[in-house]
Each structure stands twice: as C-alpha cells, then as structure tokens.
Structure 1
C-alpha cells in the first residue's frame, strides 16, 4: 500500500514539474509574478517556475506591430473638416512597463494618435495638409514616441494613410487640377513652338551663311580667273612688243600699218574723228610707202578745191587747229569725195567716202 502511495506521490510531483516548465519562444517575453508582485521577465528559452507561488502574468511579443486606426474627423485651420486615417508602427521595448504602465496599451495608443492628429492638423490649412504629409508624419511620431515611453512602447513610424476632404472641396480641387494641367499643356505647346521657331531660324541662318560663303568663293574664283586672264593678255602684249622691238620693223611696214589703221577709223561708224595736224604729209608718206611696197601708185593731189564739193552749201564744215590736231565735224549728210590718181601704167578711180559724222 505504501508503495502505491509513493508512486502516486511521484506521479504528482512529475506532473507538477512538467506543468511548471515554460519554454519562451524567440522575440517573446513572459512577465512573472510571485505572490502577486512582479518577480522577473523571462526571455526566450527554458524556464521553471515555482508552483502555487509564481505565475505568468502576460506573454508579450517583442516584434514590431502595425496598428491601422479607423478614419478620424479633423478640422483644419481654415475650418475644413476632413477624414484622416493613420497607421502606427511600434514595438514593446520594456515588458514590465508595458504590463503595468497602462491598462489597455492598444486603446491608449489609438486615442493618443487621434488627439495628436487633430492637434497637428488644426494648425495647418487645407493646402498645407494635402502637401505636407511627411511633416505631419514626423510630428506625430515625435509626439507619440515621447508619450508612450512610460508604457514601454517604442513608436518607430507613423504614416498618414488617406485624407478624405469634403465633396465640395474635391470638386474645387478637380477643377483646379484641370486648370493646372491645361496651363501646363499651353506652356508646353508654347515652348515647343518656340523651340521650333528657334531651330528654323538657326537653320535659315546656317543656310544663308553657307550661301554667302559659296558666293564669296565663287567671286574669289572669278576674280582670280579674271586677274589671270588679264595677266596673260598683258604678258602676250608685252611679248608681242618685245618681238616687234627685236624684229626691227622697217619704216615702210609701220607706215603700212598706219594706213590700215586709217582704213579702220574711216569705216563710217565714228561720229567724230581727230586727225593729226600733219595729215597731208602723213597721207603723202603713206602713199609713197604703199608705192614702195607695191600696193598702189602715188600721185600728188592738187591742192585746188574740188569742184565736186560745195563748201558753201553746208556751213557746218569747219576746222579747229589746236592741241596738236584738227577736229573735223560733219553733219549726218554723206559727203562723197572722189579723188582721182593716175599712174604711168594704169589709172584707177577710187571713191573715198568720208565717215558719216554727227
């Protein structure tokens, strides 16, 4: 009988031992009380508590937790009521404070977040509220983190999830957004047109510059060609003069060339002729030269006036000696002067028409 009692007692002791063995998982902590007072905080691992004296008050997770609070009505500085919901990221850094610091940490954090959000938004206008989310997040995080230190909670991050303004404000914002986009479109079109005009002007400028350069090169080439041709002409004339000087042309040839020049002068197209003062001796010398060369006979012409020419009929015939020559002016009428020369072998009549002069 005593053996049975011993076995029962052993079984009871083993059951008590097994029931008082605690295994705390990773990233968790257990708060232990002994006789109703805080005794210790167990971290991850194997632990054994005293039965009937110690008890586990709370199993606390040390992981970072996310609390998504419902939208809260807030009023801006310019009296616009909006619905704003926030998300709070936090974790427990002191299990003892978390257990004994506040009765309901989650409810306390939610209410503290709502009151802090109303306080911050109440100091800002609508436009600033919509465009300053980062500032709101930073302010809320600083306030919540400082307030929850006594609860053993560390607020790591706060985010404004959604901002819902009234319907009237949304309509106004929609119109403003549409106007802003139209303005941007107009500005972009103006900039595109400006860039196109500038590009076109630059293209025209480059084209004109290229055309001017081409024209300049063409003018330079023409000028060089003209200068080269003039140089060649002058060189040819100089060579011709040099050859004439070296050939020692006789006086008869020179007089013959003078006769040919007088023939070209008296071709009937000139309006005014300047003849040398010694024209009579020149004609005589040319006649002698021509006879010497065998191209004609020379017979002196009588100085008596030609009966075929009526000098009194036209008062416009006059002479002016001076400046080493005689200027003969004749009206548009044609004057035929016939000079007859006779030679020993044959007689020929030569009609010499004086040039038609004005």
Structure 2
C-alpha cells in the first residue's frame, strides 16, 4: 500500500514539474493543444497540460534586425544602382506572426525589397544619393499597414549605401575623360589661335612682314621634312624640285630677316603670355 502511495506521489510531482514552463523576460510562446492554438505564454512561470499541450514557437518581442544584401534597382532615369538596407522590426502579436504568414523573415525581406525598388524607381539618380532619409521614411510608411496584419511593427528601415553598378561607373569615368580631353583640345586650339592672331598683327604693322612670313613658312617646311626623315620608319618622300629650290633660296636670302622675326615673335609671345621659340 505504501509503495502505491509513493508511486502516486512521484507521478504527481513529475506531472507538476513537467507542466511548469518558465518564459524569460522579452519572450513569449505559443501553446497548441491537440494541434490547435490554445494560448500565448507570457514571461514568468506558466503551467501546461503534459502530453496534451505543446509549445510550438517561442520568440523574442524585442527589436530585431534583418540585413538585406545589396539589391539592384533602377532610378526613374533608367540608371542601375545597388542598394543596401537594414530592417529594424519587432513582434507585437505572437499569434498573428505565427499563424498569418509563412516564414516571417523571408516575407519581411521580400516586402521591403518590393517597396524599396518602388521608391528608387520614382527618383532620378542624383536625388537618390541625397534622399536616404526620405527613402527610409517612405519605406516605413508604405509597409506599415501590411506588417501590422502580420503582428509585426517595422520601427525603421535604414539605407546603408547606394552604389552605381560597375558598368555605369566605367561609363561615367569614360565620359569624364572624354570631356577633359575635349576641354584640353579646345584650350590648346584657342591658345594657338590667339598666338597666330598676335603674329598676324605684328607682321601687318611691319613693312617687311610679307618677307618675314615667307621665311617663317619656308623654315617650318624644311623642319617638317627633317622630322619626317628622322622618323624610325623608313620613308621615301618625292618633292617638287622647284618648290625645294625656292624654299632653300628663300632661306639663304632671308638670313638677315632671322633676327627681326625672332624679335617679332618674342614681341607676340609677350603679348599673349605664351613662350615660343622659332
């Protein structure tokens, strides 16, 4: 008889210990009985019916975060960008979070990505870089009602980084390089034009300007042919003997103009601020 009583006492004690469940602060738990929802356990000591009651999910009610990998999106001016975002969220209704949506975290990711692409698609590229705060606020407002039905509160969505796709970066750098080259060529052409204009003005005011100009052109002609012959690539140049003899003759008879031309060139160079030696 005493053995039966002892066994009964042990059974009661085991059932009591087995039915006691402690839920830590900041957590809640879902209890099902025979496959149906029964109740939600709050933090502290709780009792369930052994063998009949089952804790199917225990989840924190504190704020959590989901770091979304960089995702591609297109701006309103059709430029591809990569956006990196972080979702801050917490469960406010454990029942809805468990029963209203399958795979809560994946659902939150997909929802935020859809809203993010929508927000980026309404902005031009330049505006996206200066409107991170507006994008974050717009995302939070857009998905708030949907997540409320899931028993989840989105506290905020932070845009970590907005980056251009590598091919877009390469295209922009190429365009910048081309623009720099165009500007350099334009400045060089302007400098040459200004220089030649000053030379023209000096020659116009000089009585022997025409002779000096002939000397200048003849010298450049000979220099060009000299450089052509000095090239590492072999070349054969056929020249008009008359043109060659006339050029050499002009050089020989114009020695006395050399100093004068140098003076005029220096005068023009000083006027334009460009250093040039003939």
**TM-score normalized by structure 1?**
0.46
In structure 2, what is the Cα distance between the partners aligned to 1:128 and 1:168? 20
In structure 1, stretches of 5+ residues that fail to align are 180-358
Question: Shift of residue 101 of structure 1?
Answer: 1.1
2:127 alignment counterpart: 128
Question: Shift of residue 118 of structure 1?
Answer: 0.9
* Cα distance change, pair 75–110 in 1 and its aligned pair in 2 (3 A): same
In structure 2, what is the Cα distance between the partners aligned to 1:87 and 1:56? 31
Q: How does 1:291-306 map to 2 (within 5 A)?
A: none
Q: How does 1:110-125 map to 2 (within 5 A)?
A: 110-125=109-124
In structure 1, what is the Cα distance between the partners aligned to 2:78 and 2:43? 52
2:142 alignment counterpart: 143
Question: Shift of residue 5 of structure 1?
Answer: 3.3
Given that 2:80 and 2:168 are in contact with CA atoms closer than 8 Å, whether structure 1 keeps it comes out as: no
Given that 2:30 and 2:41 are in contact with CA atoms closer than 8 Å, whether structure 1 keeps it comes out as: yes
Select between 6-15 and 77-86 the one with higher mean Cα deviation: 6-15
Instruction: From the CA coordinates, give the structure whose radius of gyration is larger.
Output: 1
Q: How does 1:1-358 map to 2 (within 5 A)?
A: 2-167=1-166, 169-170=168-169, 172=172
What secondary structure does 2:69 align onto?
Answer: coil
* Cα distance change, pair 160–173 in 1 and its aligned pair in 2 (3 A): farther
* Regions of 4+ moved over 6 Å: 173-176
In structure 2, what is the Cα distance between the partners aligned to 1:38 and 1:72? 38
* Cα distance change, pair 120–33 in 1 and its aligned pair in 2 (3 A): same
Once superposed, what is the RMSD of the aligned Cα atoms? 2.1
* Cα distance change, pair 129–26 in 1 and its aligned pair in 2 (3 A): same
Tell me the number of residue pairs that the alignment of Structure 1 and Structure 2 aligns: 176
Greater RCO, CA 8 A, separation 6+: 2
Measured against aligned partners, the alpha-carbon deviations of 1:92-131 in whole angstroms (never above 9, x if no partner) come to: 1111111111111000001111111111111111111111
In structure 1, what is the Cα distance between the partners aligned to 2:87 and 2:133? 14
In structure 2, what is the Cα distance between the partners aligned to 1:24 and 1:174? 61
In structure 2, what is the Cα distance between the partners aligned to 1:113 and 1:66? 13
* Cα distance change, pair 136–173 in 1 and its aligned pair in 2 (3 A): farther
What secondary structure does 2:62 align onto?
Answer: coil
**TM-score normalized by structure 2?**
0.59
In structure 1, what is the Cα distance between the partners aligned to 2:173 and 2:138? 26
Measured against aligned partners, the alpha-carbon deviations of 1:234-264 in whole angstroms (never above 9, x if no partner) come to: xxxxxxxxxxxxxxxxxxxxxxxxxxxxxxx
Measured against aligned partners, the alpha-carbon deviations of 1:133-187 in whole angstroms (never above 9, x if no partner) come to: 11110111112222111110000011111112023544638998xx9xxxxxxxx
Write 1 or 2 for the structure with the bigger share of helix.
Answer: 2
In structure 2, stretches of 5+ residues that fail to align are 180-278
1:233 alignment counterpart: none
Given that 2:82 and 2:164 are in contact with CA atoms closer than 8 Å, whether structure 1 keeps it comes out as: yes
In structure 2, what is the Cα distance between the partners aligned to 1:29 and 1:173? 54
Given that 2:63 and 2:90 are in contact with CA atoms closer than 8 Å, whether structure 1 keeps it comes out as: yes
* Cα distance change, pair 174–68 in 1 and its aligned pair in 2 (3 A): farther
In structure 1, what is the Cα distance between the partners aligned to 2:57 and 2:12? 25
